[in-house]
Amino acid sequence: MLKKVWLAAAILVISTTGWAQQTAKIHGHAQDPLGIAIANAKVSLSPDGRTIKYSFPTDANGDYKGDGIAAGTYMVVLQSTNAANTNNKASTDAIPNVVDYQRDVVFTAGQDKQVDFDLTRQAYVDKLSPEQKKALQEARGKNAVIVKENAQIKNLNAMMQQARADRKAGNYDQAIALDQQATQLKPDEGLLWYELGDSQLGAKKYDDAVTSYKKSLDLLQAAKDSKPAVIASADNNLGEAYAKSGKSDQAVPAYEAAVKADPANAAMYYRNEAVVLYKSGQGDAAGAAADKAIAADPNSPVPYYIKGWSLVQKATVDPKTQKILLPPGCADAYRKFLELAPTGPLADDARNILNSAGEKINSSYHKH
């Protein structure tokens, strides 16, 4: 009895396997007259040109696949989910939303049949209405422009990346050459002039950098999709170029413009402004910039040092004790600086000033 059950099971397996081999598979790709993948459509199989027996969806890449197809001859139809995209002229009206079709496609058991729908072929285009042909021609023209622009953008991006690598390696002349070539290819792109300014700044060609940053700012500010962070960075670097060429008075408005464009990073721009004024010996102006930097970021040490330095310029000497008399706020600024940055040359200078004035210094500042 057990033996008979086993034999029946074996026969069942053999029978099922034999049935599976009687079906076929299908796969393929669909693209429109512009060569763009047709997504979210259906590829259907009809045995008589009127009824649909099998349907398989196309994916985002225009690809599809299916199985379980009984051997036979079928019309394979590409159907759109949008009736406006259909072209029923050469097909039966019994099947809705037909975009394209292939007649008399033979499927044999065990076969994986490839059936593609390439609507760029001339035979398909010839069947379009005059209005559709005109729209297709216009779209192809626009696509050609887009392809050309994309190729140019890809080339410019590659040049920009190489120029940045050259700057990082200190090869400023090579970076300048690449950036200049980029600005010649697309002179209306503000970012490219900004990059050129950075290369010129690194090469210490400050006047050239000023010119490039100004050009960059004109274009960036006029752009519809202006980017405040990039504008602020260009203003900040313009300030640096002015400062390094000895034009600190012109640097200050550039830093102020950076703050206006990018208030979130005001502390950095005010700090840079304070440093420039400090290096040029402008005590009062440096102190005012330091105060703004401190207000924007109370935990940045350098502005406190600059504030102390700007005030110590007004210190006097006690004729009796010969000790330095610091103006109000000066000692507090130096103490705060030492609290935040207790080591380094500036810290030693701050301690010396406080010691000379007989001011108390917290022992925790003496870190080496």
CA distance 68 to 20: 8
Specify the length of the chain in residues.
Answer: 368
CA distance 88 to 311: 86
Smallest CA-to-CA distance from 192 within 204, 179, 202, 203 is with 179
CA distance 283 to 157: 44
**What is the CB-side half-sphere exposure of residue 361 using CA atoms within 13 A?**
21
Residues 69 and 172: beta-carbon distance below 8 Å:
no
> Is pLDDT above 70 for 83?
no
CA distance 368 to 365: 9
Mean pLDDT of 263-276: 95
Pairing of strands 72-79, 42-46: antiparallel
- 86 compared with 359, residue with greater pLDDT: 359
Mean pLDDT of 166-187: 94
> Is pLDDT above 50 for 2?
no
CA distances from 96 to 60, 82, 126, 178 (A): 22, 10, 21, 57
Smallest CA-to-CA distance from 265 within 244, 289, 296, 234 is with 296
Please give the mean pLDDT across all residues of the chain: 87
Q: How confident is residue 10, by pLDDT bands cut at 50, 70 and 90?
A: very low
What is the amino acid identity at position 152?
A: Q
> Is pLDDT above 80 for 148?
no
List, for residues 89-120, the tens digit of each pLDDT value: 444 567 888 999 999 999 999 999 999 999 98
Smallest CA-to-CA distance from 299 within 264, 260, 271 is with 271
Tokens representing 9 are 């099971």
> Is pLDDT above 90 for 139?
no
